[in-house]
Structure 1
Amino acid sequence: MGLIGTAFALLWLSSAIFANPSCPESPEGMVTVHLVCHTHDDVGWLKTVDQYFYGARNSIQRAGVQYILDSVVDELKKDASRKFSYVESAFLYRWWNQQLPEMQDTFKELVSSGQLELVNGGWCMNDEAAAHYNGIIDQMTLGLAFMNNTFGTDSRPRVAWQIDPFGHAREQASLFAQMGFDGLFFGRLDYNDKDKRWKDNDLEMVWQASESLGEAAWLFTGVLPNGYNPPKGFCFDDLCNDEPIMDDPMLEDYNVDLKVIAFLATVKVQAKAYRSNNIIMTMGSDFMYQNAGTWYKNLDKLIKYVNARQSEGSNVHVVYSTPSCYLDALHSDNITWNTKQDDFFPYASDPHAFWTGYFTSRPALKGYIRKTNAYLQALKQVITLRGMSRDSSLESLAQAMGVAQHHDAITGTAKQHVTDDYVLRLSRASQLSAKGFTAGVRELSTGKVDDQEIFEADPILSSFCPMANISSCTFTETQSDFHVVIYNSIARPLSKYIRIPVPDATAYKVTDYQGNGVVSQLVPIPSSVLDIPYRNSTATQELVFLADQVPALGSATYVVSRTSSLKVMKKLKSTKREIIPGEDTVVHNGAMSLTLDGVTGLLKSVSIFTTEGVKEQQISQNMLWYAGMNGDNSHFGRRASGAYIFRPNGTDPETIGEPEIEVYEGELVNEIHQKYSPWASQVIRLYKGSFYVEVEWMVGPIPIDDDTGKEIIMRYSVADMVTDSTFYTDSNGRETIKRVIDHRDTWTLNVTEPVAGNYYPVTSRILVDSSNDMGSFVVLNDRAQGGSSLNDGEIELMVHRRLLDDDAFGVGEALNETAYNIGLIARGTHLLLHSDFATTDCDFTCQHRLLAEQKLMEPVVIFQEIVDGSPVPAPSSGLNSNLPEQVHLLTLEPWYEEGQYLVRLENMFAAGESDTHSQTVTVDLENLLSLWTLSNIRETVLSANQWLEDSQRLQWNVNESEKAARIG
């Protein structure tokens, strides 16, 4: 994988011409129209992925992917000049496995000849706002591996095809470039941006997607002329109502001349907006080509009759083409292209339709996907460390996670029954692998590597406690004594506070593998959690202890035992602090302190204890809500807030109320329980010695009995911090990108939605940096959310939303999630850091980068019964030595050939962003893994579907003076 920390460099570009023999010619002096026949097949949206594949529940939407592929193959066989482009591997995989060898051979021949082009190649067409780069890379790798393994390396997609995601991330372009793609095409961008680019002939460009990576992250990028739809009047699908080409003059309604004139007029308009004599027209849309014959019969005629006009002086030449053929034609034109350095967020389709609501929609789903990603990485590691091959349990979970990255899945923009299906897939796949995972961790820790059958069927009773998110765990509530096994998937030792739900009136002792006592503490579960209507649990407290220095890629086991000792109980229990009305309350952990306002009960300051004295920052926090705009969407002035769209009714959020406060203190953690209302509460935590503040929020059921949808935010403010209307967000969890309020880099923004129009996706972190020596402040999240800094020194993140109207962009349902017949309850965490917390060994960037890595790669905690006579395993690591702090082990997984494994290492730090950690480091791969003897190491592109030495991407001429003007 390319490292973030490499130096930025300018590229001296070649004008070499690439020739693809399967591509049509572009006659000199002609405007060549590349007709790209395609279908866009959502991996779940209005129907589930399997319903879409089979064509089930057509009362919802007429769509059956299996028929699309059947029909397209039949039509391509009839004429070698016809072409088609296909994207989604999740569907192709299903279809392929149901075909007879004869059909498989035919399909391979079509791919090999270039008639059928595989484009993009991921398991899905992933979202670019809520998806984390770890999930994006995994789903792309999964799909591309299927294509390589099935159709050979010649099938490798060269073009990224992100036609439907609702905004486009700079990091996504960087990842595509590192995967070896030559270009990217997409359909959606802000309507103002598109209008300006259309007028300026700037719809195609070179996206310079990383200052750190330089030319390695440059990617040719094109905006498609009509979204991803056919031009008006030329949709020949059964789903459309456009007239076919009627070319028999002996029959009524002959329309060839009218069709040709209309088409040439469309070409003329489009050609003016693009800089090349090669232009693209997409012929297809959502789930089209179930009857491919209607398309090809009419397109054959269109090509014939339009090209016939050349004898009368027309300079338009129409051909069947593919995205890569079009890209090669542009490359051959040897044009010098403008560049882009920012991204395409937020996306607006009209003055009041900013697609920024989906950054937060369905927060429980977003959190579950992030948690499952951490488990998937751990599972891949454990299988690899045991020297095993890929098995069905890993493949099932990888496929479920691949589907979850889809731009209507992790976004929260599918129908409710489809969302339920996404969750079911993740849950089933996780359960399928659970016993094997627990057995594998135990065998690695004991050094006893048993056979495959034992790995797949662990006989020891264990639990992952899937209801721990509501502080409930049947296993720990009913077992008197049990093991707690913590697996750390980070390539460095990890210290982590573990929280275990347990019943009241019980004392516990915690010991390590040698029987040494481990300090622990009992903390009351917040009353808001205890009051959850569907929570069926006897746990009223959480047992907290520190799992200290859990080895890299390894595990540590602790023993928890009940005891009747009153002395132990007294020592364990937290002390409830008396709150004196009107007086400030101060809570500290030895490293820092929090002050609550005596009148409002809200956080008002944070102090850090340093060798130079106490540094105090006036950091405040509150929970608020925006009223979601109601509307019938009859025109954009009546646009409703919905699953896609965030449109608040007004610019000022409402307060929920002054919180009721309880403070609990103990040896390991001090907690402030704040209850704003029966549906909104939070816990502010200070762990012993920590340099950050943890805020655990819980929201729901959001009340709607007042007929008002509500969008809940957490707002953090640093007093007197001047940030010049500027803040920074991550891009897909990786590099950060600058944001400026009411500003776009490439056009002058007309501010029609002052709140929603300034919201951006926050996948990992959002930070503000002062210009008046007030330092920097960052909030890390545990799932994708929408966020902004609407005022200087302020950060807000939307954590939950419940709305009453659909926003009329296709879902047909209001975003009104329920569970157990009440509004959905969501619970998550934010981590707060200020640059005053930094040390000489680990500066501010170092701290939040490493902490974000820990949030992404949360350790897997397993609870197991104690088997009599078996010793407690000692801590063990799968590494010979720990990786440097800069280096993140992104991937360690078994590959598809026996004895081959895929390793990805990344430098987490961008060039120049950290004084202590933005530097190149060297890793000895040969001696990295303790259980391996490596025979060969060979480097691939990021997606592992091509050897790096074989990757020769197209190079493009760029307008360096134009680039310098934009960033100078």
Structure 2
Amino acid sequence: MTQPQESWLLGVVLLLATATTTHQANPSCHPVKEGMLNVHLVCHTHDDVGWLKTVDQYFYGAHNSIQRAGVQYILDSVVDALLKNPDRKFIYVESAFFFRWWNEQTPERKDVVKSLVRSGQLEFIGGGWCMNDEATAHYNAIIDQMTLGLVKLNETFGEAARPTVAWQIDPFGHSREQASIFAQMGFDGLFFGRLDHDDKNHRWDTHTMEMMWQGSQNLGDAAWLFTGVLPRGYSPPVGFCFDILCSDEPIMDDPRLHDYNVDKKVDAFIKAAKAEGEGYATKHIIMTMGEDFNYQEAGMWMSNLDKLIRYVNKRQSSGSQVNVLYSTPSCYLSALHDANQTWTSKTDDFFPYASGNHSYWTGYFTSRPTLKGYVRQTNGILQAVKQVASLLGMGHSEGLETLKEAMGVLQHHDAVSGTEKQHVADDYSERLAIGTKAALGVMGQALSKLQPVEALQKEKDGGTIHFCPLLNISSCPITESSSAFIMTVYNPIARPISHYVRLPVPSDTAYKVTDYKGNAVKAQLVPIPKPVLSIPGRHSTAAYELVFQATDIPPLGFLRYHIKRTSSYRILRQQISKTHSHVLGGDDPIELSGDENLAISVDPKTGLLKRVGAVRPGPIQMIPVSQNFLVYPGMAGNNTKEQYRASGAYIFRPNATEAREIAKKVNVVTVEGPLVYEVHQEWGPWVSQVIRSYMGHLNLEMEWLVGPIPISRDKIGLEVVSRVDWSSITTGNTFYTDSNGREMLKRVKDYRPTWRLHNLEPVAGNYYPVNSRLILDNGPDFRAAILTDRSQGGTSLNPGQMELMVHRRLFYDDAFGVGEPLNETQFGEGLVARGKHYLLHSSFASPECDFGCLHRTLGEELLLPPLYAFEETSALAHTWTNTAVNKWGGLGMNLPSNVHLLTLEPWGDNLLLLRLEHMYEKGESDTHSSPVTVSLKGLLADWAITGVEEMILSANLRKKDEHRLKWKVKTTSTAQASPSEQHRTNNIVHHQDPLSVTLGPMEIRTFVLTVKKASSRF
């Protein structure tokens, strides 16, 4: 993988421009004073959408014994306080809370709030459904949750409420892709609160707390974003918290009082302001006057700030050069812009985040792995249901909205991150389950809509559509109990795909699978591994999985299959797999290979993977590779000092620099059949894995099962990792990880590109978020990737090594607020997690699909896997074939192989929201990284597109109306932005034809389509 070399040598000054118009000052901002230190007071509350309490508990103020917090009272109180003084300002961030409150207000109260928004007293910042996590949230879900909040604000208040500043004050590290997304959503700037303590010290000393961030190495100036680090996270200066949750002295300004303290307070404030000014580059500084769930009594806060402003500014008559004003992040950003400063730049990201020498916040990259997997799975369901609702003209529905809002909540930085209390995690899972059930109800209605009435009438016992949410533990009641059923396989990708289906079925039972043409489909019965059968809480009759390939599923369409149990011994003999238990210790190789499978070789002494190779003309090229599960013991500690920091929900701190083996050798069972080869491995009662090689697939699937993680006598927690070693490869200290599932970032062990690292935690300090893939690159002869089905922490600690953390169970809290250890249990035992890794190697590639194509194509399929639906049937296969609609596609054409349909969503009467993205980076693929043009004409099979309006990424502003601020920036020698570019991205000149869409590498374009019915197929 070719990546630009990092450089901290500053080069030429460039002017970044995303609009041709000049900047207009915000008339609602209070004036600043030239030559003085202007202190921008920003009144805010940070309202977690679940953390120590559930979303509902936070909103209503329930369970205050856990945390005193009630969001409804904050908003009530703020509105009243703003009305008392037109100089006051307040910002609000989380749309999930705001709209719950808004829906309970009277029309008169709503009018008051609208007037506060128009005047600029109440300003929305960020504006997404939540303040999302940046390490473990996928870009698809980030875009959705931001769009959900921003569009609701736009529909409610109009352009006056459109946020132009992003506000990520609490996430635990910051991704480059997040900056790129914000820039593409029309934001002018981003402010955040957390970065590595050494990085912050360096920036403070060099006056580079604010910078220009190059959010993409592909998109040019479209992804540049002004970024500022807040001075104290998001808290006020010491002594100046005036909330009911604080204990600082109020300003007592009656000189008759014995406790009169105005002079003392003013002196302390001026001192704090000057100290803060020493770390920043201009005569403007920002002071965050708020904290978690502050302003439940806003009058208390703001009456003290009124006095503070009055008395500090009064000192100007005596020569003080400090000026204080009510402000907002957008007003502060406007002042920085008007300062005409030239800013330094940044091209990497802010991971990993460390708050101390022994406190690397890299554990949450993996914490609560089953919740992380559930979120990713649910995202795929949401995209599929949005597509089908769009294609069938079903419009908005309550079921779809329920899942959209649940997924929006789950992107919160204490949700998908896994850093919430257990009862909150349970509530999050319940929200996903309720939303999924509601959305799948919409999908069921859609599939029924596509069947002719006569077909439904002939199915006396049919018509009820079922979904199987427990396929992750190989359980599905309808496939286990039905003698015959119909299976629908929906493809949410905009190209035809072929997909291997796996259905849990009872033991020793053959099945006849018939496709929509009436042809018999080859199938294989594969035994379910014993550890899966023993998963706590699994109640299933299935002992086998029926495997067959669904071939050429239409884009955004489905195929249906008739599946019937049969007593035919001939069919059973064809389908049953050959299984063999191996006794380890000998010299005979354990090898599985076929004409179209990847070849697998297992070490006969240890039972571990030894080699893998692709079948090509001529001899198989076998690549040495090993894979093993290991554990790090978690550090126990009381957290009284930094050196006593414990490993917990946030912190990864192993009590060793080397992971230890779980077992010297593993039990091995091999499975062979016409469609798939498998190696079943057991490290012991709580760690097992299945390695799979499917016919025609160019990746090795590794399905792991970990848990219950045992409790030792001394209650030392364990952190479980999967490690792959390419023993013959030298990759140095360099590896690559994705940023929120999109662009790849170069990582170098024990190194940070912009500041000197002093790493006292050699393992945890080299862990990074892996949202979708980890790649090793040693030039064209060797590239390897592991793709994941959920977010995990990962690293490469030694040359040729790839390590991913899959599960963790800990018995000490790390003292960063959650207040309980990460000790997940279910059914009275430790939590069991099951997931998949996919191994790729450059030798698997072909002239038609190089290595870049391999991992990008597979990544798309993992993000949007096919969706299954089932119906019982009494119809014979022949009758079913001739009466039902068993093949259907919603697209009129296939999209090119490098274009991903990111969004297709109902958007109003005869309106659809469409996002198309180029899946490849510059230089990533010889054949797929080039710009591509797509015609929208005929894209939708049943709808004619009569109008196209291009929008910004968040769909809350027309693209032609976007006017972002221009900035002067010192760039690194790798800068890709220039005012001479023909277009804002990739030097591409876009066509004038509204139905012709050109995409450069990594570009996403967003459109609102006006459509009319062009077909009567439904």
TM-score with structure 1 setting the length: 0.96
Task: Give the whole-Å Cα distance in 1 for the aligned partners of 2:57 and 2:910.
Answer: 37
The match for 1:403 is 409
Task: Give the whole-Å Cα distance in 1 for the aligned partners of 2:25 and 2:937.
Answer: 40
Cα 1:442/1:884, change in 2 over 3 Å: farther
Aligned counterpart for 2:477 among listed residues 474, 479, 502: 474
3-state secondary structure, aligned to 1:103: helix
Once the two structures are TM-superposed, the CA of residue 166 in structure 1 deviates from its matched residue by: 0.2
Q: Aligned ranges for residues 577-588 of structure 1 at < 5 Å?
A: 577=580, 579=582, 581=584, 582=586, 583-588=588-593
CA deviation profile, 1:631-650 (whole Å, cap 9, x unmatched): 11011101000000000001
The answer to whether the 8 A contact 2:630-2:659 is kept is yes
Once the two structures are TM-superposed, the CA of residue 493 in structure 1 deviates from its matched residue by: 0.6
Q: Aligned ranges for residues 29-428 of structure 1 at < 5 Å?
A: 29-428=35-434
The match for 1:537 is 540
Q: Aligned ranges for residues 796-945 of structure 1 at < 5 Å?
A: 796-866=803-873, 868=875, 871-895=883-907, 897-945=908-956
Cα 1:843/1:962, change in 2 over 3 Å: closer
Cα 1:682/1:13, change in 2 over 3 Å: closer
The question of 1:548 aligning with 2:548 is answered no
The match for 2:984 is none
Task: Give the whole-Å Cα distance in 1 for the aligned partners of 2:22 and 2:100.
Answer: 40
3-state secondary structure, aligned to 1:549: strand
Task: Give the whole-Å Cα distance in 1 for the aligned partners of 2:960 and 2:462.
Answer: 46
1:890 partner letter: L
The match for 2:765 is 757
Once the two structures are TM-superposed, the CA of residue 423 in structure 1 deviates from its matched residue by: 0.6
CA deviation profile, 1:354-406 (whole Å, cap 9, x unmatched): 00000000000000000000000000001100112211111110000000000
CA deviation profile, 1:869-911 (whole Å, cap 9, x unmatched): 653423211111100010000000011x311110000001011
Task: Give the whole-Å Cα distance in 2 for the aligned partners of 1:447 and 1:320.
Answer: 65
The match for 1:4 is none
Once the two structures are TM-superposed, the CA of residue 705 in structure 1 deviates from its matched residue by: 3.2
The answer to whether the 8 A contact 1:441-1:487 is kept is no
The percentage of aligned residue pairs carrying the same residue is 57
The answer to whether the 8 A contact 2:515-2:521 is kept is yes
Once the two structures are TM-superposed, the CA of residue 10 in structure 1 deviates from its matched residue by: 9.6
Task: Give the whole-Å Cα distance in 2 for the aligned partners of 1:723 and 1:794.
Answer: 9
Structure 1 window deviating more from structure 2 (863-872 vs 710-719): it is: 863-872
Once the two structures are TM-superposed, the CA of residue 594 in structure 1 deviates from its matched residue by: 1.1
The answer to whether the 8 A contact 1:892-1:902 is kept is yes
Task: Give the whole-Å Cα distance in 2 for the aligned partners of 1:612 and 1:310.
Answer: 85
Once the two structures are TM-superposed, the CA of residue 695 in structure 1 deviates from its matched residue by: 0.2
* Aligned CA-pair RMSD: 1.8
Task: Give the whole-Å Cα distance in 1 for the aligned partners of 2:147 and 2:690.
Answer: 39
Cα 1:177/1:449, change in 2 over 3 Å: farther
Q: Aligned ranges for residues 525-674 of structure 1 at < 5 Å?
A: 525-577=528-580, 579=582, 581=584, 582=586, 583-591=588-596, 592-611=598-617, 613-657=619-663, 658-674=665-681
The question of 1:498 aligning with 2:501 is answered yes
The match for 1:6 is none
The match for 1:784 is 791
3-state secondary structure, aligned to 2:381: helix
2:719 partner letter: E
3-state secondary structure, aligned to 1:933: strand
Cα 1:413/1:21, change in 2 over 3 Å: same
3-state secondary structure, aligned to 1:27: coil
The answer to whether the 8 A contact 2:15-2:969 is kept is no
1:825 partner letter: V
Structure 1 window deviating more from structure 2 (951-960 vs 169-178): it is: 951-960
3-state secondary structure, aligned to 2:442: helix
Task: Give the whole-Å Cα distance in 2 for the aligned partners of 1:889 and 1:241.
Answer: 53
Once the two structures are TM-superposed, the CA of residue 462 in structure 1 deviates from its matched residue by: 2.6
3-state secondary structure, aligned to 1:440: helix
2:595 partner letter: G
Once the two structures are TM-superposed, the CA of residue 439 in structure 1 deviates from its matched residue by: 2.8
Unpaired segments ≥5 residues, structure 2: 1-11, 978-1018
The match for 2:969 is 958
Task: Give the whole-Å Cα distance in 2 for the aligned partners of 1:862 and 1:962.
Answer: 53
Once the two structures are TM-superposed, the CA of residue 962 in structure 1 deviates from its matched residue by: 7.3
Cα 1:76/1:888, change in 2 over 3 Å: same
Cα 1:725/1:185, change in 2 over 3 Å: same
The match for 1:700 is 707
The question of 1:740 aligning with 2:751 is answered no
CA deviation profile, 1:405-428 (whole Å, cap 9, x unmatched): 000000000001100111101101
3-state secondary structure, aligned to 1:342: coil
3-state secondary structure, aligned to 1:618: strand
The question of 1:766 aligning with 2:774 is answered yes
Task: Give the whole-Å Cα distance in 2 for the aligned partners of 1:597 and 1:342.
Answer: 40
Task: Give the whole-Å Cα distance in 2 for the aligned partners of 1:961 and 1:787.
Answer: 28
Once the two structures are TM-superposed, the CA of residue 965 in structure 1 deviates from its matched residue by: 14
CA deviation profile, 1:73-124 (whole Å, cap 9, x unmatched): 0000001000000000000010000001111001111011100000001000
3-state secondary structure, aligned to 2:947: coil
Task: Give the whole-Å Cα distance in 2 for the aligned partners of 1:442 and 1:743.
Answer: 56
Task: Give the whole-Å Cα distance in 2 for the aligned partners of 1:331 and 1:879.
Answer: 46
Once the two structures are TM-superposed, the CA of residue 964 in structure 1 deviates from its matched residue by: 6.5
3-state secondary structure, aligned to 2:363: coil
The answer to whether the 8 A contact 2:13-2:970 is kept is no
Task: Give the whole-Å Cα distance in 2 for the aligned partners of 1:121 and 1:898.
Answer: 25
Task: Give the whole-Å Cα distance in 2 for the aligned partners of 1:837 and 1:431.
Answer: 39
Once the two structures are TM-superposed, the CA of residue 431 in structure 1 deviates from its matched residue by: 1.0
3-state secondary structure, aligned to 1:375: helix
The answer to whether the 8 A contact 1:339-1:962 is kept is no
Once the two structures are TM-superposed, the CA of residue 774 in structure 1 deviates from its matched residue by: 4.6
The answer to whether the 8 A contact 2:419-2:650 is kept is yes
TM-score with structure 2 setting the length: 0.92
Cα 1:41/1:345, change in 2 over 3 Å: same
Once the two structures are TM-superposed, the CA of residue 434 in structure 1 deviates from its matched residue by: 2.0
Cα 1:448/1:309, change in 2 over 3 Å: farther
The answer to whether the 8 A contact 2:382-2:439 is kept is no
1:904 partner letter: R
Once the two structures are TM-superposed, the CA of residue 460 in structure 1 deviates from its matched residue by: 2.1
2:827 partner letter: Y
Task: Give the whole-Å Cα distance in 2 for the aligned partners of 1:462 and 1:881.
Answer: 28
Once the two structures are TM-superposed, the CA of residue 864 in structure 1 deviates from its matched residue by: 1.2
Aligned counterpart for 2:695 among listed residues 678, 688, 692: 688
2:717 partner letter: G
Once the two structures are TM-superposed, the CA of residue 949 in structure 1 deviates from its matched residue by: 0.1
1:528 partner letter: P
Once the two structures are TM-superposed, the CA of residue 448 in structure 1 deviates from its matched residue by: 10
The question of 1:730 aligning with 2:738 is answered yes
Cα 1:957/1:474, change in 2 over 3 Å: same
Aligned counterpart for 1:795 among listed residues 776, 796, 802: 802
The answer to whether the 8 A contact 2:15-2:967 is kept is no
Unpaired segments ≥5 residues, structure 1: 1-8, 451-457
Task: Give the whole-Å Cα distance in 2 for the aligned partners of 1:670 and 1:251.
Answer: 85
Task: Give the whole-Å Cα distance in 2 for the aligned partners of 1:440 and 1:867.
Answer: 22
Once the two structures are TM-superposed, the CA of residue 446 in structure 1 deviates from its matched residue by: 5.9
Task: Give the whole-Å Cα distance in 1 for the aligned partners of 2:974 and 2:738.
Answer: 23
Once the two structures are TM-superposed, the CA of residue 472 in structure 1 deviates from its matched residue by: 1.0
Structure 1 window deviating more from structure 2 (253-262 vs 342-351): it is: 253-262
